[in-house]
Amino acid sequence: MVEQTLVFVKPDGVERGLVGEIFARFEKVGLKIVGMKMMHADKAHVQKHYAAHLEKDFYPPVENFITSGPVVAAVLEGVGAVSLVRKIVGGTEPHSAAPGTIRGDYAHMNYAYADGPAKAKGLRNVIHASGNEEEAKAEIELWFSKDELFDYKLLHEKHTRG
């Protein structure tokens, strides 16, 4: 089934100049970017995005981190997009994310460090990806208006028969 999902490169990924490399990985597997923008997420926006985590101990550093600089958000579309993107992104904790995944290749922090010396800074793990289809729909509505999403065909879609 063709799905849409939300990803955003977090401030650490933007600051390290990884945006192009990250989105190239998604395009190389056939996912289509149907919306993309750079923005500075304010606290109110981040609180809506992470509403399920507001009361958790790890939330304040997450909010501080996500609001510390610009993010690049995108809506990706493709067959099984939600699970495919999660596979490419890798596990939440960079230290245990598999090599070859975005977090496995570009992030190195672990939970122990994030809970210790870096507690006020939050876990740096480069990217966010929607966890499931329901979450993806809600996050896309939060981050993008309908007029910021585009319906178009990739070149290979224009040349297929059927």
Q: Which of 159, 137, 131 is nearest to 53 (CA)?
A: 131
Q: Give the number of other CB atoms < 10 A from CB of residue 127.
A: 24
CB 70 within 8 A of CB 11: yes
Full DSSP string of 41-86: --HHHHHHHTGGGTTSTTHHHHHHHHTTS-EEEEEEEEETHHHHHH
What is the rounded (10 degree) CA torsion for 92, 93, 95, 100? 0
- Helix %, strand %, coil % of the chain (to 5): 45, 15, 40
The one catalytic residue in 45, 53, 128, 156 is 128
d(CA 25, CA 138): 24
Cα distance between residue 75 and residue 148, in whole Å: 10
Active-site residue flag, 156:
no
Active site positions, annotated? 128
